[in-house]
Structure formats: C-alpha cells, structure tokens
Amino acid sequence: MSQPARGRVLLALTRQDVDYWGQLLGKDREVTTERAWPADPSIDYALVWKHKPGVLAGLPNLKLVISMGAGVDHVFADPELPDVPILRVVAENLTTHMTEYVVWRVMDHHRQGMAYRVQQAGKVWEEHGQQTAACVHVGIMGLGHLGRAAAKALVALGFRVNGWTRTPAAAEGVDTFHGEAGLKDFLAATDILVVLLPHTPATEGIIDYDLLSGLRRDNALGGAVLINAGRGMLQKEAGILRALDDGTLKEASLDVFEEEPLPAQSPLWSHPRVFVTPHAAATSDPEHLVPLMLEQIARFERGEALDNLVDRKAGY
C-alpha cells in the first residue's frame, strides 16, 4: 500500500460530515481533525470552514490555509490568523449550484411565483399579465467567478443584465458600472438586484434601506426585488423589512442572514413576500472539492503558482 504524501493536514470545520471529509483527504494525506486538538505542531496545511479562533495560531509549521468554499470572511474572523497564504476554493459544481439558484429565484420573481402560491392556497383562479425576460433588468453586485456565470445564464434567457463592481470589470453581454460613482446609476437601472459580493469591511451592511431605495420600482414586475445569495453580513435586515413594508421592495429571496441559523423569532420567516432558504444556494460537495484542494497543496509543494490566492488587503 502506498504511503500518504508528505505534508500533514489539519481539518478544522464546523460541519456534521467532518468524518467523510477526513476519509477522502486521508487517502492522500495524514489528517488531523480539529476535535482532536491540540493538533500536532508539525501540521503543514489547514483546510478550514468557520474554524474556532486561535486554532491555527499554535501551528509553527503551517504553510497554507485553504477555505473550503468561495468565501473567506470566516477565515479573517480569526484574530490570531497566522501570516501564511490563503486560498479559496472555486469549483465548477459550486458555480453550477449558485447559477441554478440565481436563475431559479430570478425566474420565480419574474413569473409571479409568490402571487400564484398565495392564489393556490386560497383556491383563486386568476391569470396575471406576463412580460418577457427582455423587459426585466437584473443587476448583479459582484462579477467574480460566480457573478459572471450567473450573468451568462441570465443573458442566455433574454434578461437585460447589469453588473456592479468596486473596480472596473467586464462581462460579455453585461452593462457594467463600478465604484461609488457608478452605484446610483446601476441601481436606477435595476429591477431585480442579485447580491454576490464577498464580505469585507468595505461591503459589510451595504444592502441597507438607502441602497434599496435606489432600485427602479416603476418596472415590468410592479416593483423592485432583492436576491441575496452572497453573505449575510452584507445586509441590514431591519432595512430590508422596512423596504418591504413601505413598498420600496416588492419581494425578496434571502439565502444568507446576519445571524445563522436564522432565529425562530425573526419576522423574515413569516413575511408574506420573503422567500427563505437556509444558506443552501451552493453547498460544498467533498467529492468535488477535496481533489481541488489536494491539487493546490501538491502545486505548493512543487513550487508552482496557486489558483484563487486571496488578497489579504482586499479581503477576498
């Protein structure tokens, strides 16, 4: 039997399926799990998802941290994070899941899904007028890998797609805006706002009442719509509820929240114009992600360039 490759791995994650991740990784590497702490100080690599703060600080041999997802805000939440390179995982199946979620929610709002579900509950037979996709402008905040993939799918369905980024960016078939100067015009040209931004100090709380007030309400949908599948800390839920209640927003689909799990007392659960999913837009599949992470470790050991290296200054 072949021996595991050199370079020991710490698996530090908040997941129920930690054993399965460990089994897959253990075929190639010697693995220690966070619950076996204190870990051997000879650990070389840490694969993390919402790890306990301080867990990585006692690893003097640590060379690389890999986030087990596209987001890295949970990594930077550790005040004792060692000064080593950080990678995030960009996997095609994660991208596919997110694109499916965005298309699903855009189409549901576009085709009056909430109104028809209410009618079904009341046994009401009434047809609503329906516009074509070309009459609806979808604005995507964040044109990274996930945002560009979602934009491509929406353009193919005939939607008019806008994109907003902090710095100039381009995507085929997308009208792009950037920076503070471009945000007002972006919002004014958007009927359905899709949020796929990373969580950084600059984006925390960006989805508030004032921002939502800039969306176009006089449109083919009969009002503005919010879809957030990015990060919960991007939004201020009090502002979203206010916007829903005074007509600034027609509807919202939320997959992420300021506090997760979403507390039972949150009014979002029962709001008639809010669709809630439990941070399930794009779930991590270890069978797809483990090979990608192991390949990055192998590249590191060969001295090769790494994919999806995080910019610590930008926070993503």
Q: Catalytic residue positions?
A: 231, 279
Q: What three-state secondary structure class fits 138? A: strand
Whether the bond into 4 is cis, omega within 30 of 0: no
**What's the rounded Cα separation, in Å, for the pair 45 and 91?**
19
Helices within the chain (DSSP H only): 18-26, 73-76, 92-110, 113-121, 145-156, 179-188, 209-212, 237-245, 286-302
Are the CB atoms for 185 and 177 separated by under 8 Å? yes
Are the CB atoms for 270 and 67 separated by under 8 Å? no
Strand partners, 228: 195, 254
